[in-house]
Amino acid sequence: MRSIRSVLHSLKPQKRVLIIGSAFVDMVINVQEMPRAGADVEGDYRCTTVGGCSFNVADVLYKLDLPFESYMPVGEGRFADLVAQALTERGYPVHREAGEGDNGWCLSLADASGERTFISMFGLERRMKPDWFERFDIESFDYLYVSGYQAEGENGRVILEALSRKRPDAVVVFDPGPRVHFMPRERVEDFCRLGCLFTVNADEALFMTGTTRVEDAALRLHDMSGRDAVVTDGGRGAIVADNASVRRIPGFPVAIVDTIGSGDAHTGGVIAGLMCGLPIDECVLLANRVASVVTGREGGACAPTIDELLTEHC
């Protein structure tokens, strides 16, 4: 496998990507420890920023100067206006859906260890309509990203209906995230039938597969969908399972600030490599590097540029 520097110098887009999902408002608060029932803890308010899984994934491609298309619906209201402003500033399309309410927002709590806990108030990004996808030629995309936050309930059914129009060789990159704990097994199986490429963390992988070893979980996810599977394992890097083997791709040392958006950044790194035609191991090496930088920064949507990644300390 090549060095991360060689991988970065070979990022030349070859495939078309569509990012489907949410952009909503994050209010980031640091706490010493997560409050228990009845407790009163002091918080340190850090910032209000636009985030969301899809926005964070898009941030990686944007910072790496890679082209993509996105559908992150924008409603009407104070949070929707903040989202629209952020999308416009980056040159992303602003798809306003009138009469469907505001965008969602989230309290993002980060404790002294950097671990994050979310309190989410969902908006129109969980009330998508079939006709919203008519503006896209789904068959023209090679990779399509979906987060578990949009895959539940009727919203998930609408997205699956749109994804059913993809080409047989196109790949759905699916990150179920923490919502997998609330997602019916049948919904996960729906994505498996699409032949999705799973990107999940170790805890989620173990839960999804009922296994006790991360390597076994990655292999099981590969068997479930028939595609490569990527399982992040904190500072220990990430596990890749494909038709050849199960193997660990090393991570990069980092002083943890918080883990907000780190998983999304990792998925974005994987997609960046895939759309540039890199082998899966190099895709994951790139993702490990991107995610390590995000973990060392505050908040989400803080992915590094190529120039920053090429420096020794970014």
17: tokens are 């990507």
Residues 58-103 pLDDT 10s: 999 999 999 999 999 999 999 999 999 999 999 999 999 999 999 9
Collapsing DSSP to helix, strand or coil, 98 comes out as coil
pLDDT of residue 47: 86
Q: What is the DSSP letter of 31?
A: E
pLDDT of residue 155: 96
Please give the Cα distance from 49 to 150 (Å, whole number): 20
What predicted TM-score, i.e. pTM, was given to this entire model? 0.93
Confidence of residue 180 (pLDDT cuts 50, 70, 90): very high
Residues 108-136 pLDDT 10s: 888 888 777 889 899 999 999 999 999 99
Q: How many domains does the chain have?
A: 1
Is residue 220 assigned to a domain? yes
Q: Which of 31-45, 114-128, 183-197, 254-268 has the highest mean pLDDT?
A: 183-197
Within 8 A by CB and 6+ apart from 64, the residues are 11, 272, 303, 305, 306
Q: Do residues 247 and 272 make contact, with C-beta atoms less than 8 angstroms apart?
A: no
Measured in degrees and rounded to the nearest 5, phi and psi for residue 53 equal -55, -50
Is residue 48 assigned to a domain? no
Which of these, 210, 211, 177, lies nearest to 191 by C-alpha position? 177
Is residue 80 assigned to a domain? no
pLDDT of residue 313: 55
Confidence of residue 28 (pLDDT cuts 50, 70, 90): confident
> Among 42-46, 257-261, 267-271, whose mean pLDDT is lowest?
257-261
Is residue 215 assigned to a domain? yes
Asked whether residue 216 carries a pLDDT value surpassing 60, the answer given is yes
Per the structure, the complete domain to which residue 300 belongs is given by 4-21+53-71+124-304
Confidence of residue 312 (pLDDT cuts 50, 70, 90): low
For the segment 300-313, the average pLDDT, to the nearest whole number, is 85
Which of these, 18, 15, 268, lies nearest to 136 by C-alpha position? 18
Within 8 A by CB and 6+ apart from 70, the residues are 18, 19, 20, 54, 58, 92, 93
CA atoms within 13 A on the CB side of 230: 33
pLDDT of residue 7: 96
pLDDT of residue 144: 98
Is residue 28 assigned to a domain? no
> Residue 216 catalytic?
no
pLDDT of residue 256: 84
Asked whether residue 150 carries a pLDDT value surpassing 60, the answer given is yes
For the segment 236-245, the average pLDDT, to the nearest whole number, is 94
Within 8 A by CB and 6+ apart from 217, the residues are 202, 205, 206, 208, 209, 211, 231, 239
Is residue 83 assigned to a domain? no
Asked whether residue 314 carries a pLDDT value surpassing 80, the answer given is no
Is residue 175 assigned to a domain? yes
Measured in whole angstroms, the distance separating CA 177 from the mean position of its chain's CA atoms is: 8
For the segment 278-301, the average pLDDT, to the nearest whole number, is 93
Q: Do residues 238 and 266 make contact, with C-beta atoms less than 8 angstroms apart?
A: yes
For the segment 23-52, the average pLDDT, to the nearest whole number, is 89
**Average pLDDT score, the chain:** 94
Q: Which of 175, 190, 233, 264 is catalytic?
A: 264
Is residue 144 assigned to a domain? yes
pLDDT higher at 246 or 312: 246
Which of these, 233, 137, 225, 155, lies nearest to 189 by C-alpha position? 225
Q: Of all residues in the chain, what percent carry a pLDDT higher than 70?
A: 99
Q: Do residues 202 and 234 make contact, with C-beta atoms less than 8 angstroms apart?
A: yes
Please give the Cα distance from 209 to 221 (Å, whole number): 7
- Axis crossing angle, helix 262-275 with helix 53-63, rounded to the nearest 10: 50
- Please work out, in degrees rounded to the nearest 5, the angle formed at the alpha carbon of residue 272 by the alpha carbons of 225 and 229: 20
Q: The CATH number of the domain where 296 resides is what?
A: 3.40.1190.20
Type of residue numbered 23:
A
Pairing label, strands 197-201, 171-175? parallel
Residues 261-276 pLDDT 10s: 899 999 999 999 999 9
Q: Is 101 exposed, middle or buried (0-12, 13-18, 19+ CB in 10 A)?
A: middle
Q: Of all residues in the chain, what percent carry a pLDDT higher than 90?
A: 82
